[in-house]
Structure 1
Amino acid sequence: MRDDEILGQIRQLVDEQHRLRASLAAGELTSEEEQSRIRLVERSLDRCWDLLRQRRARRDVGDDPDHTAPRPAGEIEDYEY
């Protein structure tokens, strides 16, 4: 996945967060439903940002960023950026 594709996925996930919050405000979702779905979106966002950082780091040291793979969510969960 190229950097622009990762950034596009990040934009989609952020849009999904906004839709979920709007649905909660409109009474279309319960708070529990919204929080559950937001957690999934946030995990996906964390993985995208992590992958993008890995690619940039590889590029910075002269390595091929295309040899970077997404890490499991559990590996990057609670990681402080």
Structure 2
Amino acid sequence: MSGVEAEAEKQILGRISEMISQERDLRDRLARDAIDPSTEHERLNRLETELDQCWDLLRQRRALITAGQDPEGAHVRPASQVERYLS
């Protein structure tokens, strides 16, 4: 993996970590009754979708690298596509 590829992966992983922290904060605020459940649910849904998109982008990049192709060919897929994936 080149330095550019490593930096791109580092940025994606950094964003994932940031969103996980936001998710924890939302759950903590809900537990303290600092926000209402509907607000928390709406924000969590958005975060979970964006997290799924980031993980998908990271997997795409890694697959392209493994195949000897340019990881810059990876792109963020629409939520409607990513959310239909099965674990």
Q: How does 1:4-23 map to 2 (within 5 A)?
A: 4-23=10-29
- Provide the TM-score with structure 2 as the length reference: 0.88
Structure with the larger RCO, 1 or 2 (CA within 8 Å, 6+ apart): 1
- Provide the TM-score with structure 1 as the length reference: 0.94
2:18 aligned with 1:51: no
Runs of 4+ in structure 1 deviating by more than 4 angstroms, as ranges, are none
2:63 aligned with 1:64: no
Q: Cα RMSD over matched residues?
A: 1.2
CA distance in 2, matches of 1:7, 1:43: 15
Write out per-residue CA displacement over residues 19-74 of structure 1, whole angstroms, 9 at most, x where no aligned residue.
00011011111111111100000000000000000000000100010121111111
Structure 2 residue identity aligned to 1:67:
G
Q: Give the Å deviation of 1:80.
A: 1.6
**What SS does structure 2 have at the residue aligned with 1:36?**
helix
CA distance in 2, matches of 1:57, 1:9: 20
